[in-house]
Amino acid sequence: MATDFSYPDAAAKAAQVPKEFEPEKMSLSMGPSHPSTHGVLRIQFELDGEMVTKADPVIGYLHRGDEKIAENMTYNQFVPYTDRLDYIAPLANNMAYAIAVERLAKLEVPPRCQAIRVITAEMARVSSHLMGLGAYGIDVGAWSVFMYCFEEREKLYRLFEELTGARFTTSYSRIGGLQRDVPEGWVRKVDAFCDQFLPILDEILGLLTRNKIFIDRTVGVGVISRADAIAYGLTGPNLRGSGVGTDLRKDRPYSGYEQYEFDVPVGATGDCYDRYLCRGEEMKQSIRILKQAIAKFPGGDWYAKDARKIFAPPKDKILTSMEELINNFMIVTEGPQMPAGEVYFEAENPKGVLGFYIVSKGGGVPWRMKIRSPSFCNLSILPKLCVGHLVSDVVSILGSLDFVMGECDR
């Protein structure tokens, strides 16, 4: 049964359709409760069929008032709140905050403390990228990747628990030092973890890197140009995927990063696949840093001994000696005494650059604390990036940006 229908005809006829018969755009709200939005993000779409014509992210569903809380807490009391910023790599946030406040007092911590901070931060980086990878896998349909990644994260959780007492949300760093020294044998266990992790990482990456379905979903999707990445303030693997090789651990080393040799992976095209490859390679470089840090692990003090008004003295001295008792009382009730001034410190966290801008008028409580969150800036490119993609590509883009709403909304 022949019908006179052919595609060229249909296209020509479609072009002649009068304006009032053109399909309307649909308004769709994705989130805030959605499996692929990585937390409570809501995106208000305007869709033409499946194609996105406008995307307006609505954030703030996890805004808990951290900056206002910081104005009412002492510096040490605020450490648990920093855990819950990027709650996938809490040890990295703890370290960034502690170093920012120590810059206020121009306090240098001893090399052992710096080495422990580097080790915990790099373990947090591995943990965060594993989570990003697992969540990305599950968004594009790969369940096994999620399971493998989470098993490796459980091993990391066990190490964190032995060190700090909590699986995550560790609250490990204090101003001027740490909560406690590493337990005996812990460093050897981290070493053992690194040794067994690299083959498993290759296995996990092997599930996705040459996977045709994954490549179809990520190559050429969500391309961020170099100029855009810089203009929108993108940082971390999102920036490096677009070809800008900025890594604060190399450019402005802090906490002893200058002693370790590592490479910084930089992408070529800036699409989702490049960002995925950057994260995979960053995990390998983190293991490289960990091995070096463990090999060079110094002895000595794990807190700044001479910072009497900032770091509480050891408990046996507090209970027996008058001056230490007074210092401990002041530090606990009024907070570590910081000089007046302003300081801005940024650290290279797994998600990007986490910055703390602290304005102090002296005393133990800051006047203003601004938290420059990487996920906030990474998400700001979304209105520009989603336009012209299909809705399922948006899921792929969100997974590749690897943001976390606790940090974005604070």
Partner 1 sequence: MTIDVEITTAVSQQFPSATPRASLDCPAFNVPAAEALAVLQHLRDAQGYDFLMDLTAIDWSAEKSPRFTVVWHLYSSTKHTYVRLAADCASDSEPVMPSATGLWAGADWHERETYDMLGIKFTGHPDLRRILMWDAYPYFPLRKDFPLAGLPTELSDPDITEETKTGVIAAPMAGGPFVATPGEPMSDAEPRAKDEAWNERNEKPN
Partner 2 sequence: MGTANPEITYNSKIEGDIVVTRVDAAINWVRNNSMWPMPMGLACCAIELMASAASRFDIARFGAEVMRFSPRQADCMIVAGTVTYKMAPVVRRIYDQMATPKWVIAMGACASSGGMYRSYATLQGVDRIVPVDVYISGCPPRPEALLDALVKLQEKVKGERSSSKLLSA
Which residues bind to partner 2, rule: CB under 8 A? 32-35, 39-40, 60-65, 68-69, 80-81, 83-84, 87-88, 131, 146-147, 150-151, 153-154, 157, 167-169, 405-406
Check residue 390 and report its DSSP letter: B
In the complex, the smallest distance separating the C-beta of residue 300 from partner 1, rounded to whole angstroms, is: 22
Provide the mask over 175-214, with x wherever binding to partner 1 is found by CB under 8 A and - wherever it is not. ----------------------------------------
Single out the residue of 184, 275, 273 nearest to residue 236, CA to CA: 275
69 scored as a contact of partner 1 (CB under 8 A): yes
From residue 144, alpha-carbon distances to 140, 155, 205 in Å are 12, 17, 11
Task: Fill in the amino acid letter for 265.
Answer: P
In the complex, the smallest distance separating the C-beta of residue 95 from partner 1, rounded to whole angstroms, is: 17
Q: Which does 357 bind (CB under 5 to 8 A by kind): partner 1, partner 2, none?
A: partner 1
The answer to whether the bond into 314 is cis (omega within 30° of 0) is: no
Q: Which residue spans within 112-225 are E strands per DSSP?
A: 173-174, 177-178
73 scored as a contact of partner 1 (CB under 8 A): yes
Residues between 247 and 286 with contacts to partner 1, criterion CB under 8 A:
251-252
- Residues in contact with 133: Cβ distance below 8 Å, sequence separation at least 6, in sequence order: 145, 149, 204, 208, 276, 279, 280
In the complex, the smallest distance separating the C-beta of residue 352 from partner 1, rounded to whole angstroms, is: 11
In the complex, the smallest distance separating the C-beta of residue 1 from partner 2, rounded to whole angstroms, is: 42
372 scored as a contact of partner 1 (CB under 8 A): yes
For the record, the structure tokens of 274 come out as 């490049």
CA Rg value for the chain: 24
54 scored as a contact of partner 1 (CB under 8 A): no
291 scored as a contact of partner 1 (CB under 8 A): no
Q: Which does 298 bind (CB under 5 to 8 A by kind): partner 1, partner 2, none?
A: none
Pick the closer one to partner 1 by CB: 53 or 77.
77
For 13-23, letters b (16+ CB in 10 Å) and e give: eeeeeeeeeee
